[in-house]
Amino acid sequence: MRSLAVASPVPPAAAHRRRLRPSASGREVVSQCLKCEINQDRPMGALRIGHSQGNLPRHGSKNLLTPAAAAISVEQVEVSTYLPKGDMWSVHKFGGTCMGTPQRIQNVADVVLGDSSERKLIIVSAMSKVTDMMYSLVHKAQSRDDSYTEELDKVFEKHMAAAKDLLDGENLARFLSQLHSDISNLRAMLRAIYIAGHATESFSEFVVGHGELWSSQMLSYAVQKSGASCSWMDTREVLVVKPSGPDMVDPDYEESEKRLEKWFSRQPAEIIVATGFIASTAENIPTTLKRDGSDFSAAIIGSLVRARQVTIWTDVDGVFSADPRKVSEAVILSTLSYQEAWEMSYFGANVLHPRTIIPVMKDNIPIVIRNMFNLSAPGTVICKQPANEDADLDACVKSFATIDKLALVNVEGTGMAGVPGTSSAIFSAVKEVGANVIMISQASSEHSICFAVPEKEVAAVSAALHVRFREALAAGRLSKVEVIHDCSILAAVGLRMASTPGVSAILFDALAKANINVRAIAQGCSEYNITVVLKQEDCVRALRAAHSRFFLSKTTLAIGVIGPGLIGATLLNQLRDQVAVLKENMNIDVRVIGITGASTMLLSDTGVDLTRWKEEMQKEAKPADLANFVRHLSEDHVFPNKVLVDCTADTNVASHYYDWLKKGIHVITPNKKANSGPLDRYLKLRTLQRASYTHYFYEATVGAGLPIISTLRGLLETGDKILRIEGIFSGTLSYIFNNFEGTRSFSDVVAEAKEAGYTEPDPRDDLSGTDVARKVIILARESGLRLELSDIPVESLVPEALKSCSSPNEFMQKLPSFDQDWARQRHEAEAAGEVLRYVGVVDVLNGKGRVELQRYKRDHPFAQLSGSDNIIAFTTSRYKEQPLIVRGPGAGAEVTAGGVFCDILRLASYLGAPS
């Protein structure tokens, strides 16, 4: 007969209505009597667990029984210990990286002790790389590779060294004793596997699970060193699972709950350190939760105790909006819904295994992803959809994920339409070869079904389909079973995408403007994700384009500047002063990722520092190579929208525009050579521009910063008919003739213009009229005339005798000898009340153009100019009596660079920036 003293400070029923609090040691106050145990309802939020009186003193707990208590005698009495459930529990899971060294294990212990939760359950993985080492042991043993013994010795030495560094005294002795025993057992088991040449699944999983046993034991001893109440749990005693498919198990929650109750009745500590990854079958055979099983363990146990939250500690600050290895601008997400995390996991994002979410989702237990190595980072909370998120378009898409190395299988034929069982037959054949279907898309006409499978499985799938549908293919009911190799999937994930108009449009617009071709599309009726299949070579570019559109800014432009001379350098300085304003006010993110001159080039992956680009060009520049420069822009950067800005006057550079546009690179330039070059090349360039989503802007080719091209296009696009375009197109010649008056000689004015920087180094380049002729031909072609440059008669201002001068200096020295001829022309004009002006004319009605020196009355708009102003008059059907005039500065680096800058902003507007 055993005698047990039981406290009875309150009536039995009251004792059960009151929530029982744990003692300092984690022990629970026992219930009053067996009768009460049987008849009274259990307290809310607690499970009653019976255990024998002999187990109570374990771990040296205080005797909680009151001396004044009455005594009863029974043959065998079971007392009740309650497993509390609810917010008093926090569950932490630490991955292998967090447990990688003795110092890291101690850091984990410090984090655990720093958690103020009333009760804590700690789930740990094996030390980093140990699980792989254990799998290798099994593989080598069953392959009869003798080196498995050396590998086992390495495992032993790794854990022994870690324990000696971390523990001391009795705890160290206990751990090393257990380690020696485990290694001895493993050695015997591996020897048996070696002899048999085969390892059963249960043998293999028994071996592999030892890493978690050792790491969790070391952590529990490290926590106990602080004096905290801590117990160690081998989760094979608690978690029960049953196979549910290849390499997959499902938890048996009911049986696991019973076993946890029983375990807790024996060791009710405030801190429990448990093994992750490992479990048992219902027959008590050791098994594992398969890969990523430690996270799954934490979620299951968190569900069993209805924990306040489950924290997954890892080596990143949280969940990223995209793979940061592919998108350097990826951001940490503060919150994710369960569904979003689930979708992201399915599509390959390194978040959580989808199984991890299931146990906590049904009880609305949040999962927090945090960085063990950056405790200041708040991490990412995975929970029910937060109610306070703004339902704007940017918040609708939470993240992007990709899956590579896929093939697309397309089954197509008119005989499929309306025929029941076709889809079933297709996917039955796929199932028979064990292939995994990633995505399915079917046309509503039922004419075709396509689906994505891993590249390594597509050969078997194709063969199976050809066998299954041999007769249908021969009869023509199916036209083909086609395999498209080297594909990838891009998935946009977001719970708020559902019922939000415009998300798909923005996604596909971003892909189209990045010149991405989509092969297949799938979207479930839940609208949690939009999935597209595209070429694998386009996948990273597509990911960046989509991510940029939803996360960086409305428009992110990666710019390569060719020609950092006078105009190019001025443009770079203008960008330097304005990029911050553009990003703040217009959400336009401009990054100059390359600058190349004739001899050197500067490349950057994320953006050149424009405050010191000249210094970097000298210190870090590479030899100039235009092909490598373009390759860097198109392939080796992190931004989807690429722009080449040609600030040269080089014909060779202009000859590459077609190829750049074909690659999806936008082109902006003040260089006139492409649009005034051979007509067939110009027409080919414009045809490509109109047929693609790449843009070609060249406003500054005619009027520097003046809106001449855009004005002409506006007239034409609104249906106006151009009759005549006439203007002073050269800022240099405008300056010369505006100042060629009074008694001043022509040569003096030319010398003054050269000194002021208005002319080319050789003034003959301006005086020849070729530059004006190029502008005339550009406007003529914009107006629809198919003229070559040679079709434009040009009156040169260079005296015939001076065309052969060997240098600009010689030309300038001999020019005064012709001043009398110029003076005579000026006097004749003045006598008639006129002025001399050098103009270009596009006669659209007659299909002609010309460049010549003309005289205008002093009240004519062309006679009212000053400085280097340009002026262009558009005579149209609408502006017939009084031409539409555009006037302003037509020369100078500042205004020309400003015109190029305007084209950059126009491109940004076309790509989606706010107007």
- pLDDT at position 48 is 33
Task: Please state the separation of Cα 819 from the chain's center in Å.
Answer: 67
Structural domain of residue 842, as residue ranges?
A: 708-891
Which sign, positive or negative, has the C-alpha torsion 265, 266, 271, 272? negative
Nearest alpha-carbon partner for 399 in 355, 369, 362: 369
> Is position 635 within any domain?
yes
- Pairwise CA distance, residues 55 & 35, whole Å: 22
For residues 256 and 107, membership in a common domain is answered with: yes
Which phi and psi angles does 358 have, rounded to 5°?
Answer: -60, -50
List the catalytic residue out of 398, 513, 554, 775: 775
pLDDT-based confidence at residue 915 (cuts at 50, 70, 90): low
For every residue of 99-138, DSSP letters joined together read: TSSHHHHHHHHHHHHH---SEEEEEEPPSTTHHHHHHHHH
**pLDDT over 90 (residue 59):** no
pLDDT-based confidence at residue 379 (cuts at 50, 70, 90): very high
CB 407 within 8 A of CB 483: yes
Which parts of 718-818 fold into alpha helices (H)?
731-739, 746-755, 764-767, 770-782, 808-814
Amino acid type, 529: N
DSSP E strands, 759-868: 834-843, 848-857
CB 529 within 8 A of CB 403: no
- Pairwise CA distance, residues 537 & 322, whole Å: 18
For residues 875 and 727, membership in a common domain is answered with: yes
Can you tell me the mean pLDDT for 99-124?
96
> Is position 118 within any domain?
yes
DSSP E strands, 372-447: 380-383, 399-412, 439-442
Domain count, the chain: 4
Write down the pTM of the prediction: 0.67
**pLDDT over 70 (residue 28):** no
For residues 693 and 736, membership in a common domain is answered with: no
775 is annotated as an active-site residue: yes
DSSP lists the bridge partners of residue 154 as none
Q: Tell me: the pLDDT tens digits for 394-429?
A: 568 889 989 999 999 999 887 776 677 788 889 999
pLDDT-based confidence at residue 636 (cuts at 50, 70, 90): low
Q: Is 482 helix (H, G, I), strand (E, B) or coil?
A: strand
For residues 464 and 613, membership in a common domain is answered with: no
For residues 186 and 228, membership in a common domain is answered with: yes
Q: How many CB atoms lie within 10 A of CB 308?
A: 18
Q: How many residues does the chain have?
A: 915
Q: Tell me, what CATH number does 524's domain have?
A: 3.30.2130.10
Tokens of 285: 């055979």
- pLDDT at position 585 is 86
Tokens of 32: 């009053």
Q: Of 532, 552, 572, at which residue does a domain stop? A: 552
Task: For the chain, give the mean pLDDT.
Answer: 85
Higher pLDDT, 5 or 896: 896
By CB neighbour count within 10 A (0-12 exposed, 13-18 middle, 19+ buried), where does 187 fall?
A: middle
Q: Is 646 helix (H, G, I), strand (E, B) or coil?
A: strand
**pLDDT over 70 (residue 57):** no
- Pairwise CA distance, residues 207 & 187, whole Å: 10
Nearest alpha-carbon partner for 766 in 654, 861, 868: 868
DSSP lists the bridge partners of residue 874 as 725, 884
- Pairwise CA distance, residues 189 & 196, whole Å: 11
- Pairwise CA distance, residues 414 & 478, whole Å: 7
- Pairwise CA distance, residues 353 & 367, whole Å: 12
By CB neighbour count within 10 A (0-12 exposed, 13-18 middle, 19+ buried), where does 644 fall?
A: buried
Amino acid type, 133: M
For residues 629 and 492, membership in a common domain is answered with: no
**pLDDT over 60 (residue 55):** no
For residues 732 and 658, membership in a common domain is answered with: no
By CB neighbour count within 10 A (0-12 exposed, 13-18 middle, 19+ buried), where does 263 fall?
A: buried
- pLDDT at position 349 is 66
> Is position 509 within any domain?
yes
> Is position 50 within any domain?
no
For residues 857 and 736, membership in a common domain is answered with: yes
CB 122 within 8 A of CB 109: no
834 contacts: CB under 8 Å, gap ≥ 6: 855, 856, 857, 858, 863
Higher pLDDT, 370 or 1: 370
611 contacts: CB under 8 Å, gap ≥ 6: 576
- pLDDT at position 780 is 97
**pLDDT over 50 (residue 251):** yes
- pLDDT at position 637 is 53
Q: Tell me, what CATH number does 783's domain have?
A: 3.30.360.10
Tokens of 496: 């708020």
Q: Of 315, 332, 349, at which residue does a domain stop? A: 315
**pLDDT over 50 (residue 54):** no
Can you tell me the mean pLDDT for 803-808?
92
**pLDDT over 80 (residue 20):** no
Terminal Cα distance for the chain, rounded: 91
pLDDT-based confidence at residue 768 (cuts at 50, 70, 90): very high
> Is position 459 within any domain?
yes
744-783 as b/e, with b when 16 or more CB fall inside 10 Å?
ebbbebbbebbeeebbbebbbbbbbbbbbbbbbbbbbbbb
- Pairwise CA distance, residues 688 & 690, whole Å: 5
Q: Tell me, what CATH number does 188's domain have?
A: 3.40.1160.10
For residues 431 and 515, membership in a common domain is answered with: yes
Q: Of 264, 292, 315, at which residue does a domain stop? A: 315
Nearest alpha-carbon partner for 614 in 561, 668, 572: 572
Tokens of 10: 């309150």
CB 658 within 8 A of CB 664: no
Which sign, positive or negative, has the C-alpha torsion 889, 893, 896, 900? negative
- Pairwise CA distance, residues 914 & 668, whole Å: 20
For residues 127 and 225, membership in a common domain is answered with: yes
Q: Tell me, what CATH number does 677's domain have?
A: 3.40.50.720
- Pairwise CA distance, residues 770 & 749, whole Å: 20
> Is position 351 within any domain?
no
Place of tokens 């660079």: 897
CB 328 within 8 A of CB 639: no
For residues 662 and 722, membership in a common domain is answered with: no
Q: Tell me: the pLDDT tens digits for 653-704?
A: 999 999 999 988 999 999 999 999 999 999 999 999 888 878 999 999 998 8
Q: Tell me: the pLDDT tens digits for 532-588?
A: 999 999 999 899 888 877 876 557 889 999 999 999 999 999 999 999 999 888 888
pLDDT-based confidence at residue 70 (cuts at 50, 70, 90): very low
DSSP lists the bridge partners of residue 233 as 274
HSE-up of 12 (CA within 13 Å, CB side)? 13
CB 239 within 8 A of CB 251: yes
- Pairwise CA distance, residues 8 & 25, whole Å: 21
> Is position 158 within any domain?
yes
Measure Cα distances from 597 to 277, 582, 643, 670, 703 in Å.
Answer: 58, 26, 16, 16, 24
- Long-range contacts from 470-474, C-beta under 8 angstroms, 24+ separation: 472/413, 472/415
Nearest alpha-carbon partner for 730 in 868, 873, 896: 868
Apex CA 100: angle with CA 98 and CA 104, to 5°? 60
Q: Is 784 helix (H, G, I), strand (E, B) or coil?
A: coil
- Pairwise CA distance, residues 716 & 688, whole Å: 20
**pLDDT over 90 (residue 867):** no
- Pairwise CA distance, residues 870 & 733, whole Å: 9
> Is position 31 within any domain?
no
CB 520 within 8 A of CB 535: no
- Work out the widest C-alpha separation in the chain, in whole angstroms: 141
- Pairwise CA distance, residues 695 & 269, whole Å: 68
Nearest alpha-carbon partner for 487 in 449, 539, 441, 436: 539
Higher pLDDT, 343 or 132: 132
pLDDT-based confidence at residue 348 (cuts at 50, 70, 90): low
For residues 547 and 562, membership in a common domain is answered with: no
Q: How many CB atoms lie within 10 A of CB 330?
A: 22
Nearest alpha-carbon partner for 122 in 274, 295, 315, 309: 274
**pLDDT over 80 (residue 817):** yes
- pLDDT at position 309 is 96
CB 650 within 8 A of CB 673: yes
Q: Tell me: the pLDDT tens digits for 447-494?
A: 789 999 999 999 999 999 999 999 888 888 888 999 999 999 999 998
- Pairwise CA distance, residues 376 & 347, whole Å: 29
